[in-house]
Structures are given as C-alpha cells and as structure tokens.
A and B are shown apart, each in its own frame.
Chain A
Amino acid sequence: MKNTHAKIGTALALALMLSACARNNNAAPSPTPGQTTAAPTPAAGVTGTSFDNWGSYGYTLTNNRHVPFKEITADNVKDLGVIWSADLKTLDPDVKNGNQCYPVVVDGVIYVTTAGNQVFAFDAVTGRTIWHWKPSAEQAANFAKAGIVANRGVAVGEGKVFMLAVDNSLIALDQKTGELVKMIKLSDYIDGVTLENGYYETTAPQYYKGNVYIGSSGSDNGVRGFVAAFKASDLTPAWESPFWTVPPKGQDWLATSKFQGGGAVWNPVAIDEETGLMYFATGNPAPDFYGANRPGDNPHTDSVVAVDAMTGKLVWARQEVSHDMWDYDAAASPMIIEATVKGEKKKLVVEGGKSGLWFAWDAATGDEVWKGVPFAKIDHSQKVSGGTIGYPGVLGGENYAPETYDPATNYVLIPGIEQPSLYKSAKSQDEAATPDMPGAAAFGTSTGEVPNAETYGTITAIDVGTGKQAYQIKTKDPQRGGLTSTDSGLAFYGELDGKVNALDVKTGNVVWTFQTSGNNVQAAPSIFRVDGKEYIVFTTGGPKPKVHVFGLGGDKTQGPAGTADTGGAHSAQ
C-alpha cells in the first residue's frame, strides 16, 4: 500500500508544480473553520472547490462544536440520508473493534482514526479512500500492552496530520499522501512516559501556531499527569518543560504515597487564539478511591487549568472536586464561549465533570461565574454491606463526551450518564494498591456494579445567562459521544445502539432519529460543507467500526437495530 501512495504522491507533485504559483502551501495558516477557501488547487481527485472545514477536534480551538450553517433545519431534517459509508475493517482487517474518533475535515478530506491507530483520508463527498496509513506490525504488536486501544482523532496543520498512538508515540503524516514524516517516542523527551509505567494515549492532539499540544491517559494507573507542546516542524519540544499537573511521587501531597498522583489530561485542550491562553481539564488523583496517603485538596486534579500556550506557564487553575474519592475526573475538554451572563457579554471557560456538576469561569481570571450546577443525580448517602452506592458512578456525570454551545439560545447542552456504582473503600494503602502493571487499570480499590440499577442517559440544557437548567431529556442509553449544534437550531448526537438523532436546541424535542447500520456511537459528529452543501459525519464502533456521512437527499434506508455495548467502567479512557 505504501508504494501505491508514493506513486500517487509523485504524480500529484508534478501536477501541482504548475499551479504552485497560485497557492503558497507553506504559508497557509492552520485551517480555519468557516473559511471558504475561495480557489485553492485541491489535491487531484478531491471533490469540490469550496470548503467550510471542521478544522480540529471541537470545530475551532475553542471547542464549541457549533457551526454557522443553516441548510439542514427542523423542517427538512427528515430528508437526511446516508451519502456514503465505509466499513473500516473491510478496508483493513487489522482495524480493531470500537471507535471514538471525532473526524477532522479539511478542504474536502475527512481524516478518521481507528482503534489500533490507523488513519484514513476519505474524499468527503464520495468516500473514496485517498490514502491510508497504519503502524507497522511490529509497532502494533506492542499495543496489546495498553488496556484501551481507542483513539479520538487527529490534528491538521502545516501540511501535516498529527496523531498520538496508544504506545505513547507522536506521529506526523504528510497531509496529502499519508506518508510518515516523523514519529517520536514521547519518552525520549518526557521522562517515564511509557506503557510499562501505565501511560497510554487515546486523545487527539491540537495544532496551534506551529505547535502540537498533547496530554495523556493513565490516571487510573497512577501515572503523573502532564500536558506538553512539540514543534509541528520537527516534533522537538516547544516548551522549556512539560507542564506536570501533580507533584512527583514522594513530594508535596504525595509525600507518603506509593503512587504517582494522576491528574492526567486525556482529552484535547482548548485554546483562545485571541489571548494565547490554553485550557485543559484534568483527571482524578491516584489512587482513585483511597485517599489517606494523598492528603489535602490534591490541587490540579479534577480541575480546569489555564496556561500560556507558547510557554506552558500556569495562569490559573480551578478545582471541581477536592480530594476526590469517587473517580470524578474533569474528563471532557473545556469550551471557551462568548456568552451572555445576567445580561452581560462575557468570555467564559466551561466544563462539566464526571461529578455531575457543571462550572463556568471567567476565561481571563478564572473567577467563578457559575459554580457546580448539577446536571446528574448526586447522592452518596446509601450505605450497603460492602460499601456505598454512589451517584454519579465511575462513568460520571459527563464522561469524555463533549458539550456544545448554541449562541442563539445561549444554552450549553451536556451529554450525561445516569448509572450508579458500588464503591468499596480500601482500609489501607496496600489494599488500595491493586493489580497495576503495563497499561492496566489500578483502581485503588474496587468499584462494582449496582445490581438492577436503572441506567440511562440525559441531555441537559443549561441557560448560561441564569446558570439554571432550561430542560433535561432522558435518553435510552448513557450519552457517550457528545453533541454538535448548528445555526439552524439543531443539535446532532448519536447513541450506543447506533442511532443518530437531531434535537431542537430550544425545546429539547427530538426531531429526527435514524438507525445507522453501525453500533455504539461513541463520538460526536463533525459538520462541514463542500460547495455550499452541508454534510454530517459520524463514526460508529462495536465489532464493525464504520464512518457514515449524511446529507439532504441521501439514502434513507435504515440499518438493523443495533445493540448498546457499554464496556468496562474505564474502557472509554
């Protein structure tokens, strides 16, 4: 496969040389969503000439997941159908089960990653595979050491596509050909970031001003959380030091701990391009459920942190849950929104945690605007033999599934999970130090399922102006993917049984539902335009991971009823 791509690459290069004067590739800034690229010279074979991109994980670096498109409305949404879909395992049998990819769409190309870290570049309109990259068999054999093999997507910038592989490598591919430009081991630059130490990567990187920003997974394995920046040009460090969220083992609040502190940043960062401030959400302190040897608040865990994007210097940090005993990560990426609060326009950073509480802070100062607005059942009072029944459970609240902000209604929509867990406390640190090894999850002590507990999902609309719930709807299964909204007042989301839906943002009414041929929508859709036509791309997981692109007038044949696969408590990390 690699040879074929090399040939295509050469042909492209020849074709483009003639039009090189018309477009200066290297000077192109990172793709701006909403920017209609007027007359670019698209790669030979890409359909369309004008593009409204979904340029990064959350649409723009503010992670609002809101597009200014109006073509698809509540009135015509029933005309949505499948324009094309792709079965990833048919394209490559080494693709692993499951998919949590948030597609990135740039200039007519949809970039999708798979479990097992393959990357596909599809023609956005026809679904033709333009290029495909996969790790070598040797590298892929190592992936088994990590507990989870999911991947949430790529970043695109400077003519390259960036992805983190689960074995803690950072990979840069040529955007046009998919050829490997460079791969580095994070452990060569950041001390100890290896599978053996419990680190692994599922997050999508972000590209901004010549840098690629990354965090990591592994809080549950007791790793030391961090965020780091690498130069997009050569993948060498861009900061003087990684930003460590917690002390090293044996220092400060970890003085008597056997463990590293956790606080991993396992979802993509948000960046305010006007101020150069970068915001990220941090995971739980380790060990999750035994806190005696990590006294105090355990600052910077379960928090939202603001740093200077160019230096990594701390600006402010606000904690959602202090001295967490319930695994209540601030999991989902924060959003930066310009919202109206009590009649006044403000720039806020908002985040909903696994704790079931939603927060809004002043973006510049971190001053509290809305503190701990509940969107899930919160109760830890039920003691049973064996432990405590806790609401939310270890899945949350809000897991990694991201929110969306709709400026017209001034609502934030939160994807929620209602599923309690049985928390059994360890009596000593030894008991808390449970099976911990390469890539495994050491949860400190045990949590179990609550038998016969009602499990479902919610979508909650919070009115940012008042800090109160505008409404909350129930969904059949926990919300694991997240939402994306449009200027026409619709919010799109998928479910674990493979259905995709649209709801009216103002009222919460579900106005469209479609059974895809896939299972387990565990990511939110990306919405983009080619030549003015609006498309919605979803990925689905389960044993047959797929990509589905919807548009008005597409094929309305529904798939067979799918089955929800909730997976283990931490399978989504």
Chain B
Amino acid sequence: MNKTVRRGLILLAIAAAAAGFGPRPEAGAQEDALRGHSAQEEAARGQIELEQTKFPVRAWRSDGSHLVSVKGRLTLGGQPVAGAILEAGRGRSGIRTGEDGSFTLLVDRSLIAYTPVRVASVREATIAGRPLGRAEAERLRSAASAFSVFHPIEVTGTEPSETEAGMVKVHARIVSEAGDRISFFRVDKYRIAGRVTDAGGRPVRDAVVWIDRDGGEGFAKSTPTDRDGRYEMYYWPEEEAANLTVVVGPRRYTLADGKTLVLPRHTSVDLRIRLPGEGTAIADKPPALVCTTAKGAMYSGLLAGLDVPPEVPYTVTLPDRDGRFVLTVPKDVWERRPAFFETRLTKFVGREKVLKAGDALPVGFVQPGDRDPRVTASVAGGSGGSAEAAGRPKRH
C-alpha cells in the first residue's frame, strides 16, 4: 500500500472515530467481523455481505432440513465482483461468485461453530467485465465476514457471591428448541493406564496392552508404551472377566493359567505390568500385575464459558440437563458484559470425584478456540439482545 493511500486511510479512520463510527473498543473481533465495516471503509474495501450471520442451532434431521442455504454478495467499493473464489472454513469446497457478485453457501445448523469467510482467490475475478488491477485485488482480498451457529444463552439472574468477596454468581441457561436435547459435558470414558516393565523393572517401549472381554466380542487396545513404559487407553468398564495381552514386537504375553482380569466399574485404573523374564505367562498378582483404582475420567460434551483473557479468574459449572449453569466471576469483569463462548470439549479431568451437573470446573479449565462461537447473552424476560436470539445481524 503506498504512502498516499495509507495517509488517506488514516485520515478516514480518524474521521470515522471522531464521528463515532468504527469498531467499539470493548467488542470482540468476532463481533466486528459479523457487524461489517463502517460506511467510509466500505468505499475503499472489498465487502462480503451475508443475508444472515447468526444462526441458532437447529437439531439435525434426516431430511436435511438442518442445512440452510444463505445468500451473499461480494462487492468492492459497492460494485459487484464476479468470478472470485471465497473460502468458508476448511471443510468445504471454494464458493465462486456469480456475475452480480452473488453466491450461496450452505450452513449446517446442527453443530456450533464460528466460521470465517474470506476471499481465497481473485485470479479470475472481474468487475463489470474487466479484470482487477493490483490495488483492487489487494483491497478485495482483505474482505472478510463470518457466520456463527450457536445456542442462545440467557442470563436468568445474578447475585453477589456469599462466600467470595468481590465475586458475583451469574445464573445462565443454554437455550435449545423444545424437544431438542443437547449433549452436555459429562463423563464419557474411564482410563486404563500404567507402565509396562521387564523382569528387571526396566521400562519396555512400544508395547501394546490389550484387554478383551472373555465372554464375547469387544476389546480395548492401548497406545504403544513410550520410553518410560507408559501407556493409556480409554474405555467403559463392564466389571466382568477380561483377558489381558501385552504385545511387544513378535511376542505375545498373556495371563498365566487362563486367568482373567476383572476391572471395576465406574473408575479409572492404574495397571502396572511386569513382563516375565522367561516364557510369556504374566502372573496375575504383584509384582507382575498391580491394579489400583485411579482418579479422573475423560469427559466430553458442550460447555459454555466467558470470552475473557485467560488470566481472569472465573469458574463455571457443568450445565444440567436443561442447560442451566452458574458462573462465579469478579464483579468488575461481569459489569463490562463480556460475551460468552460455547465449545464442544473432550478432556481428561483428573479429579477424584466424578463431576456432575452443577459441579464447578477448575479456573482456566476451558479456553475458547478460534472456531468456538461467541454469544452475547440475553437477559431472561428482559429487553435487549433479542436481535442475537433471532439471528439477525446488527448493522450500523
């Protein structure tokens, strides 16, 4: 960009700020992208307009009605751009703009996501039939938009924390359509992990531990042991007899005398295995085999959190079946009305006690990712924010 143009834009930006337009400092980057650019910036820039950018989740239907076609238009300085290729997230083919700059893209409303839309190629782009100049191409390439699929969130009440000074408890709810169920963050699997050592107690590397049910089909296989002999696997225990096998290269070790292992239900375990010096039979007692219960489990599902910097100390609870959850957050942070975010997370939580709905997650447990939608909560029964819930983009 040459100096003259840059100076011009700086002046425009100053003018824009003075006139009260332009992005609000406290709003997040996602909000900017969704809102579009100011009138002055429109003249200079490429613009991707979408007829709708906010989509409340609609649960999957086998007839495909959770998929919705959204129309959009690509312009530069208000003029339609044909033949450009847009990119909307990684999982789809490029979208070509038509003669009038228009395009359609398919939005899958069944899964939450924040999806940026950008210009991937201007090689064959034209305005009024003529190809673009270099400066025009640059400006067009900077066009950006985004769309968001999310569950609306409503805040149902706030109160000062009884136990922590300076904190407030915010009661909120992840909203879904009547009859739709959401899979919230819950225990999904338990862990069998441990070490495999040789007869001398030294770690064995690249061993695979197998557990298969004695009474039929079904087996679990671990990651190959690392240099410390450590392995892990995730499963759902049955409290019934299982065969144990350890495979190291061409050798298969199994429990001696056709013995089986009974793994307890509803808990992770630490299973330490010492392979025999001779033969392939693992004795089913210490020191060859030591099995103790271990804490923690793998959890999976939908969670909400606050879109705040990682150092802000707030806690959030696991949502209950109706999507209700509670945040405990510093009062001054809450007063700035931060946005929420939603994410689908699969993560091991190393707590003794199994976490259920209403239990608080540790501070800093979940951080928003680039593709997690940010959600401005509405106040239950109150005014404001309804534009978000209805999915209409705010325009200035």
- Hey, which bits of chain A sit against chain B, CB under 8 A? 141, 144-145, 147, 188-191, 231, 236-242, 244, 247-252, 255-256, 258, 299-300, 313-314, 317, 394, 422, 424, 430-431, 433-443, 445-448, 568-570
Contacts and interface: CB of A to CB of B under 8 A. Distances in A.
B219 A237 contact: no
B236 A144 contact: no
A434 B93 contact: no
Contacts of A141: 206, 224
B64 interface: yes
B59 interface: yes
12 contacts: A144-B208, A145-B223, A237-B93, A239-B93, A250-B301, A251-B183, A299-B62, A430-B265, A435-B235, A440-B218, A445-B216, A447-B216
Contacts of B91: 189-191, 237, 241-242
A60 B60 CA distance: 35
A440 B233 CA distance: 10
Contacts of A433: 236
Contact of B215 (A247, A300, A438, A446): A446
Contacts of A424: 215-216
Contacts of B301: 250
A439 B221 contact: yes
A195 to B, nearest CB: 10
A300 B61 CA distance: 11
Nearest to A147: B221
A446 B218 CA distance: 7
Given A144-B224, A189-B91, A251-B181, A437 B234 contact: yes
Contacts of A434: 213, 218, 235-236, 238
A247 B92 contact: no
B44 to A, nearest CB: 31
Contacts of B134: none
Contacts of B220: 435-437, 440
Contacts of B67: 241
Nearest to B214: A446
Interface stretch (B35-43, B104-112, B305-313): B104-112
Contacts of A239: 92-93
A446 B61 CA distance: 31
Contacts of B182: 250
Interface string B202-239: 00001010011101111111111000000001111110
A433 B218 CA distance: 10
Given A240-B105, A448-B215, A435 B93 contact: no
Given A252-B59, A431-B238, A446-B216, A247 B221 contact: no
| Interface SS, A side | loop
A120 B183 CA distance: 45
A248 B111 contact: yes
Contact of A231 (B62, B93, B215): B93
Given A188-B90, A300-B62, A437 B213 contact: no
B343 to A, nearest CB: 13
Given A240-B92, A437-B189, A443 B218 contact: yes
B32 interface: no
Given A247-B60, A248-B60, 10 more contacts: A237-B91, A241-B92, A247-B62, A435-B235, A437-B220, A437-B234, A438-B234, A441-B218, A443-B216, A570-B217
A224 B211 CA distance: 24
Contacts of A145: 221, 223
B257 interface: no
Contacts of B219: 147, 435, 440-441
B188 interface: yes
Given A189-B90, A241-B67, A248-B110, A440 B221 contact: yes
A568 B106 contact: no
Interface in B286-333: 301-302
Given A248-B110, A250-B181, A448-B215, A314 B64 contact: yes
Nearest to A317: B62
Contacts of B234: 436-438
Nearest to A424: B216
A241 B92 CA distance: 5
Contacts of B63: 314
B68 to A, nearest CB: 11
Nearest to A434: B218
B236 A438 contact: no
B335 interface: no
A249 B183 contact: yes
Nearest to A431: B238
A189 to B, nearest CB: 5
B224 to A, nearest CB: 6
B181 A240 contact: no
Interface centre among B215, B219, B301 (most CB of A within 10 A): B219
A240 B215 contact: no
A249 B185 CA distance: 12
A249 B67 CA distance: 17
Interface centre among A255, A431, A435 (most CB of B within 10 A): A435
B180 interface: yes
A447 B217 contact: yes
Contacts of A430: 236, 265
Interface in B98-152: 105-106, 108, 110-111
B105 to A, nearest CB: 7
Contacts of A147: 219, 221
A570 B265 CA distance: 26
Contacts of A446: 213, 215-218
